[in-house]
């Protein structure tokens, strides 16, 4: 439990409370002075010796004591509320550490289906909610569209914006160099470099979307990039257009199989079998790692607010009840 507001807010609330209490006590002191200036009476000791009188005095003292305690507790609760108490969100303390890099071939041969594949990526990202997801686009060079993040709203907005940008020409930076286009091995090798924290034990997956139509001279062949993935224990799941060449898809399937992956076809904006990728990702061993604690945005109000209300109502009732008793008598 911690206070979200600056300390001076609590100090200011205490100062205001002290002024209010002082203003409340001032009429009481004036009333005492008036009572002390009243006409004195004889034989008050006999009146004060009566059992009924003593019982009334003790009852009044008990009520005043309870009222003072209630007011102090209510005041303390109100001061705490000014400081906006909050507590850590335990759901962020521990998180599953699946990392998924969406690796998209944006070469000319994929231009007609890239928009559909991106929409399929959006559906896949929603199904993989809670995992860290990043997007890399490649042709003759690889470009990071957004890095690994577990912000679901950000992921969805970036994929939506990327799908919109694809309708307005090539991805900036993806056609650098003179080695040709659709350098699939280089693209996959670049996507493997987007995983951070190479020392820890994290479950990693690359979802490679390509028609496997090489048009150039890559630095890494597809099989060399696959060997890098297998060495790093990275699962490579492939997504290919349903209209792609059957032989190229078969070669792609044989390659990703070395990492335990498969090829899923995409028709329109829908994956042929999205559960295949979901199952492959979630079946990897997921270890739980500590994450930085984050404060919830919702203030912890109701315990202090309810307690303050109960105390104020109790103090008010104890003040009104004796007066009603006198009126009835």
DSSP labels for 98-157? Answer: EEEEEEEE-SGGGTTTHHHHHHHHHHHHHHTTTSEEEEEEESSSEEEEEEEE--HHHHHH
- Span 214-242, mean pLDDT? 90
What pLDDT shows up at residue 290? 44
Range scoring the smallest mean pLDDT among 122-126, 217-221, 264-268: 264-268
Handedness of CA 77, 78, 81, 82 (dihedral sign): negative
Task: Please give the C-alpha separations between residue 124 and each of 156, 171, 221, 313, in angstroms, as whole numbers.
Answer: 10, 22, 27, 54
Average pLDDT taken over every residue of the chain: 77
What pLDDT shows up at residue 289? 46
What pLDDT shows up at residue 29? 54
What pLDDT shows up at residue 294? 46
Q: Dump pLDDT digits (tens) for 29-72.
A: 555 554 555 556 666 777 777 888 788 888 888 888 888 888 88
- The structure tokens 């390659």 sit at 255
pTM of the model: 0.58
Q: Is the pLDDT of residue 204 over 50?
A: yes
**Domains of the chain and CATH, by start:** 2-87+300-328 (no CATH), 94-290 (3.40.50.410)
CB atoms closer than 10 angstroms to residue 28: 9
Q: Is the pLDDT of residue 321 over 60?
A: yes
Q: pLDDT category, 92, cuts 50, 70, 90? A: very low
What pLDDT shows up at residue 70? 83
- Span 113-139, mean pLDDT? 84
Task: Please give the C-alpha separations between residue 61 and each of 11, 55, 197, 205, in angstroms, as whole numbers.
Answer: 31, 10, 67, 72
Q: Is the pLDDT of residue 7 over 80?
A: no
What pLDDT shows up at residue 33? 53
What pLDDT shows up at residue 287? 44
Q: pLDDT category, 120, cuts 50, 70, 90? A: confident
Q: Is the pLDDT of residue 132 over 60?
A: yes
How many whole angstroms separate alpha carbon 124 and alpha carbon 270? 10
Q: Is the pLDDT of residue 277 over 90?
A: no
| Token digits of residue 196 | 């951070």
Q: Is the pLDDT of residue 326 over 70?
A: no
- Span 150-179, mean pLDDT? 84
What pLDDT shows up at residue 93? 43
């Amino acid at each position: 439990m911690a206070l979200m507001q600056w300390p001076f807010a609590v100090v200011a609330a205490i100062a205001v409370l002290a002024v209010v209490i002082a203003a409340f006590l001032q009429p009481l002191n004036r009333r005492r002075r008036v009572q002390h200036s009243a006409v004195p009476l004889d034989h008050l000791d006999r009146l004060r010796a009566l059992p009924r009188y003593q019982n009334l005095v003790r009852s009044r003292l008990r009520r005043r004591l309870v009222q003072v305690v209630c007011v102090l507790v209510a005041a303390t609760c109100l001061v705490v509320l000014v400081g906006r108490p909050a507590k850590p969100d335990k759901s962020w303390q521990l998180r599953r550490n699946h990392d998924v890099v969406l690796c998209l071939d944006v070469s000319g041969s994929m231009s007609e289906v890239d928009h559909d594949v991106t929409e399929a990526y959006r559906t896949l990202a929603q199904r993989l909610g809670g995992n860290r997801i990043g997007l890399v686009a490649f042709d003759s060079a690889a470009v990071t569209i957004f890095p690994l993040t577990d912000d679901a709203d950000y992921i969805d907005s970036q994929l939506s914006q990327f799908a919109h940008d694809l309708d307005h020409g090539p991805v900036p930076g993806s056609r650098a160099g003179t080695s040709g286009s659709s350098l699939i091995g280089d693209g996959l090798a670049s996507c493997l470099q987007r995983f951070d924290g190479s020392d820890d034990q994290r479950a990693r997956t690359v979802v490679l979307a390509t028609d496997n139509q090489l048009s150039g001279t890559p630095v890494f062949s597809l099989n060399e990039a696959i060997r890098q993935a297998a060495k790093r224990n990275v699962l490579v799941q492939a997504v290919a257009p349903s209209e792609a060449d059957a032989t190229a898809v078969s070669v792609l399937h044989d390659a990703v199989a070395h990492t335990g992956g498969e090829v899923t076809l995409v028709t329109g904006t829908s994956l042929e079998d999205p559960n295949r990728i979901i199952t492959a990702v979630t079946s990897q061993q997921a270890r739980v790692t500590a994450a930085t604690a984050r404060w919830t945005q919702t203030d912890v109000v109701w315990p202090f607010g309810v307690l303050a209300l109960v105390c104020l109502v109790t103090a008010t009732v104890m003040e009104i009840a004796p007066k009603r008793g006198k009126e009835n008598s």
